[in-house]
Chain A
Amino acid sequence: DAKTTQPPSMDCAEGRAANLPCNHSTISGNEYVYWYRQIHSQGPQYIIHGLKNNETNEMASLIITEDRKSSTLILPHATLRDTAVYYCIVPRDTGNQFYFGTGTSLTVIP
């Protein structure tokens, strides 16, 4: 049960901001939104997570809508090394289980 919906693929020009959307319309009040990415043939890498406030760290920003039904991950200045599959995850409410789904394949174009 995915709980999230993401576009299958996106392109972004190098140096521009990459905005990756995610719908999670069935999210409940105490569930967090997590973002991970997976560069080809490597393990997934944690990026950021949030509950209802916008969050920012050294990798990205996370914007969560007021109704919490969707969010956007922002990579402010995309580089070629940001080419990866990005997963938006709302963990199951038992056991910290992450369902990764198919994510969004982001290609950063020179």
Chain B
Amino acid sequence: ETGVTQTPRHLVMGMTNKKSLKCEQHLGHNAMYWYKQSAKKPLELMFVYSLEERVENNSVPSRFSPECPNSSHLFLHLHTLQPEDSALYLCASSQDQGLYNEQFFGPGTRLTVL
């Protein structure tokens, strides 16, 4: 247990659906991250939040919409996804957003887009 939880663990959705992924950290951290891991590919950083402000958006399509209502919770809202968006979505947190803060990862949400 890393102190970072993600729900749901598995999600199957159609291309016209709207769904949300949830991440919660119980570590008192100030920074949170969304990563995407497609099959046979490295993890890709999607978004970074620090003190509930988005500080990084790595050219992610607008069909992915993050939300950070407080420092413990992070959401990823999904709409009109494509089959190539099927992947493992990982949430992480760190004490702060600056360097030299190790990141703690949740177990991930396995997303399948039909």
Contacts and interface: CB of A to CB of B under 8 A. Distances in A.
B45 A97 contact: yes
Contacts, number: 58
A49 B42 contact: no
Contacts of A102: 42
A45 interface: yes
B48 interface: yes
A41 B110 contact: yes
Interface residues of B, number: 27
Interface string A71-97: 000000000000000000001010111
Nearest to A42: B107
A21 interface: no
A101 B42 contact: yes
B85 to A, nearest CB: 18
Contacts of A43: 2, 4, 90, 92, 105-108
Interface residues of A, number: 20
Contacts of B97: 95-96
A34 B92 contact: no
A38 to B, nearest CB: 8
B105 A97 contact: no
B90 A44 contact: yes
A42 B55 CA distance: 26
B14 to A, nearest CB: 23
Interface in B16-45: 31, 42-43, 45
B104 interface: yes
Contacts of B110: 41
A102 B99 CA distance: 22
Contacts of A34: 102
